Chain A
Amino acid sequence: MFEGRGMGGLKEALKGIPLIPATILVMVVAAGLLGPSVVPYDPVETNLPDSFLPPIWKEGGRMTHPLGTDQFGRDVLSRLVVGARISLLVGCMAVFFSGFFGTVVAITSGYLGGSVDAFLMRMTDAMLSMPYLLIGVALAGIMGPGLINLVIVLAVLGWASYARVIRSEVLRLKTQEFIALARIAGCSTVRILWKHIFPNIANTMIVLGTLQLGITIILAASLSFLGMGVPPPTPEWGLMVAEGREYLSTAWWLATLPGTCILLTCLAANLLGDWLRLRLDPKYRQRA
């Protein structure tokens, strides 16, 4: 993936990266990693005398709470920052597990072919045909609220998209000469899959992962909005929108600001995913 070595190689690899989305994503990751230790207020501790303070640019806003407070007097900025950690954690873990499982299915199905392929593809079709949000809500309702359960539900919902795309790649690779030569040379199936197939699908996996991150964050927020994801008082962005909904006419910032965070994070992930696809796909590289 990186041509050349050391800093020269990294600089070359990051050439042309869209700066604004990259900056947004770096800020969100920084908020996720450092935020909880540097936020001025405890995101779950209530402070009723200070409830419904507007953001600083509105009349009545205060420097001590730049983005205002919610119905329990909790600082919105602190909750948004801690929410970044939760969204990223859930998103990245779900993408990792669904990608891993989807890839295993794709490689098995694509490389072995025959009845194994037919069966696994019918399973994939079944998963892709089911209304994913409804399955998510049902599964989340059955398993109960919680971060780990949410990650499991999202991983179960997401693997089929990976399986579909990566299987196409594997089918294409299977017909290449270097695979035939590896077989003739006596390589075992496991060795061919690990040494030859897997490195060649890694780029597709990375691009798909980045594009799926945005979708997964939105799905997690939707499940939390419906009360099926992370339970209160944890500051998850989707849950914050749900809680802010009933105060729309009096405290619009409670629902607007968390949603804006979701929008900016997904936008950044999608733009970076598009850039990665152009950067890593050989077809585009040759044209450039």
Chain B
Amino acid sequence: MQRYILKRLAQTLVTIWIVTVVVFMLTRITGDPVDLLLNPMASEEDRAVARKAWGLDRPAYIQYWRYISGLMRGDFGTSIYWGEPNLKIFLERFGATVQLATFALLVSAITGITIGVLSARAPGGKIDTFGRAWALAGQSMPTFWVGIMLILIFAVTLRILPTSGTGGFRHLILPGFTLGWYSMAAFTRLTRSSMLNVLDSEYIKMCRIKGLPERMVIWKHAAKNASLPILTLLGVQFVQFLSGSLVTETVFAWPGVGRLAVWSVYNRDYPVVQTIVLIVSSGYLFVNLFIDILYAYIDPRIRYE
């Protein structure tokens, strides 16, 4: 078990290192990063001053070393626009995104799992057909359009919910549903296939032969065993929401990390963009590592593969 954990940890750290290289290269792919970071009208003297101030006159490997050693000390660099540490700017807006992501996760998990379980109970029936159509539609609609349609129906036409911004639970509903829309489909599909696999197994047939009520068969026995892949999806989806919030936060003017990212790209504040990419990627990789270790702990076959 320890060997497996160390191996997976090593893989995760190597992958994070590759992410830091990609993030470092991001502002250098079109040539001189100063062209990207400064106003295009900046004079040659301004460029020279900026280059020296940001250490961009040093060779690339020295710049990378300074970047990586800064990261290890918790220094993610400074924002060009705000003039403040990138980490501070990120953390100020992180709370709003976590709030939105948590609500979206609850909504999508509860809806998706319920529809998935009901679909699996009667495959081919009305709920199953509806569930599969719903999942398909969910994965074919762009998030920004879902958001705009919800605004059109509930805010503009019915006037029962606000169009944008923060201020209470009512402000959370439309953005939460928008962000969770795509993953509702994922939860529905996964729950349905996971339940169908479990319901097909011998011990479930045994439960039915014993005469257990169907409610107990589904919720006490089948659902518990089908839940492992669903728990994985919960973890992975939460982190994906943190990154996928870009569009939702833009549509609803939600003051989170996603909106910060888009705004930073528009305003060429790439140090902030690099920080967001690095933190979100690392979060995703560590969540995956945690899930893999959990799986290996529960199912010993995995660690011996």
Binding site for B on A (CB under 8 A): 122-123, 125-126, 129-135, 137-139, 141-143, 214, 218, 221-222, 225-228, 238, 241-242, 245, 248-249, 252, 255-256, 259, 262-263, 266-267, 270-271
Known: A122-B18, A130-B277. A266 touches B148 (CB 8 A): no
Q: Is the CB of A241 within 8 A of B140?
A: no
User: Once the chains are docked, how many angstroms separate the CA of A249 from the CA of B154?
Assistant: 12
Contacts of A259 in B (CB 8 A): 141-142, 145, 148-149
Contacts of A266 in B (CB 8 A): 139-141
Contacts of A262 in B (CB 8 A): 141-142, 145
How many residues on B have C-beta within 8 angstroms of the other chain's C-beta atoms? 48
15 additional A-B residue pairs with CB within 8 Å, beyond A267-B136, A267-B137:
A125-B11, A126-B18, A126-B22, A126-B281, A129-B284, A131-B243, A133-B244, A137-B261, A142-B270, A221-B144, A225-B144, A248-B156, A249-B156, A262-B142, A270-B140
16 examples of A-B residue contacts, CB within 8 angstroms:
A122-B15, A122-B18, A126-B19, A129-B15, A131-B244, A131-B246, A133-B246, A134-B273, A143-B30, A222-B247, A241-B142, A256-B152, A259-B142, A259-B145, A266-B140, A270-B140
Contacts of B27 in A (CB 8 A): 142
Distance to closest chain B CB from A152 (angstroms): 11
Known: A143-B30, A222-B142. A134 touches B246 (CB 8 A): yes
A-B pairs, top 6 by smallest CB distance, nearest first, are: A131-B243, A259-B145, A266-B140, A141-B265, A126-B18, A267-B140
Task: Report the number of A-B residue pairs with Cβ-Cβ less than 8 Å.
Answer: 134
Please tell me if B14 contacts chain A, counting CB pairs below 8 Å. Answer: yes
Interface residues as binary, B1-44 with A (CB distance below 8 Å gives 1, 0 otherwise):
00000000001001100110010001101100000100000000
User: Once the chains are docked, how many angstroms separate the CA of A74 from the CA of B258?
Assistant: 33
Chain B positions 242-292 with a Cβ under 8 Å from a chain A Cβ: 242-244, 246-247, 250-251, 258, 261-262, 265-266, 268, 270, 273, 276-277, 280-281, 284-285, 288
Q: Is the CB of A226 within 8 A of B15?
A: no
Contacts of A139 in B (CB 8 A): 26
User: Once the chains are docked, how many angstroms separate the CA of A245 from the CA of B151?
Assistant: 10
Q: Is the CB of A131 within 8 A of B145?
A: no
Please tell me if B178 contacts chain A, counting CB pairs below 8 Å. Answer: no
